[in-house]
Structure 1
């Protein structure tokens, strides 16, 4: 069976604060031109996408330097659906090491796609990300970011996690700094088996720091 785990790219899609918005503009129409072409405007980290090491590492590899087969992952689902807003995913939440090459963190936060709450997602601690890199795992998540995303709630005294939030992007550095990839903004993970194949082929962009992907889970019922 196949399941599409890709967020739709449209004007309502959530983007990281400060990143380019997603724009779709008619370039040619059937009425005027006899055919239809749409102009797209987006960033390399729009929608469901994969981060290359050079996204955060000055000397990191570009996305097109990875063999295409890299993006067919033996995936292991890590159920973190009990996590609340801005709650860290910690080392204790991780499984015992396996032979899989991608840990997919299922938080259920894709339910908030297109809303302000989406920015207040759970995130990986630096220790969690370092453990993943040490055991040679790439990482994927159904949230905007593997690190905390800056929002008003990050400085809200009501948030019981705010005081412990890391600064910067330590999870990105731990993973991308060791040549591991990060897939963000997955969706539709609920009900997937623990082990499956995730295909996430990126757009073929030269020297890319990241690119949108079509993420598809393949599994047997």
Structure 2
């Protein structure tokens, strides 16, 4: 079996959802001065490649530490949705119906990581989110958000707020965002994406890994 890292490196000033805490990674102690090295890491619970727990948008949703560890090892199917223009909606017709338990939506938007275009990614329509929920899919995407991210380039008629989040998380379907490195992977694969066990939190960074033949 081969393995591929699908995670962005957590580092200072990495992209975050507008208004989320900035990421800062720096030295707390150093070998020359203290004899050992410890880094100080400041970030929000949705920094970098991460998973949204149901409590992210649902008042009665489970926190990330209440989700069993077996939930984070997936039989996944990849949907190739590359080649779309910024802020293009992705409807259910673009998504496969399979027996997988994780749908990985590949937009190719990870190529824009670090520039302003990253925030104007394609997004799932409410109908696409309902399709995923009906299939029993957890959902992963190589973009900042499964919903439209608010920017000055928002278009009239885009879904307001977090409609895809509510549909998925409200039905206990997990959401993984900010994946990278999906190109060239097979359509069916395993994905392992174990989060930090943050007590009572609404999500956590993950080290997402593809495993495939």
CA distance in structure 1 between the partners assigned to 2:78 and 2:158 by the alignment: 25
SS in 2 for 1:131: helix
Tell me, in whole angstroms, the C-alpha distance in 2 between the residues paired with 1:194 and 1:12. 33
Correspondence list, 1:1-221, <5 A: 1-95=2-96, 97-154=97-154, 162-220=155-213
The farther-off stretch of 45-54 and 82-91 is 82-91
Aligned partners of 1:12 and 1:114 also within 8 Å: no
Per-residue deviation at 1:201? 0.1
Structure 1 outlier segments of 4+, above 3 Å? none
Runs (5+) with no aligned partner, structure 1: 155-161
Q: CA RMSD in A?
A: 0.7
| Conserved 8 A contact 1:29-1:36 | yes
1:125-154 Cα deviation digits (max 9, x unpaired): 000001100110000000000000000101
What's the CA shift string for 1:40-69, capped at 9, x where partnerless? 000000000000000000011111111101
Q: Say how many residue pairs are matched.
A: 212
Q: Give the superposition deviation at 1:208.
A: 1.5
Q: Which blocks of at least 5 consecutive residues in structure 2 are unaligned? A: none
Q: Report the TM-score when normalising by structure 2.
A: 0.98
TM-score, scaled to structure 1: 0.94
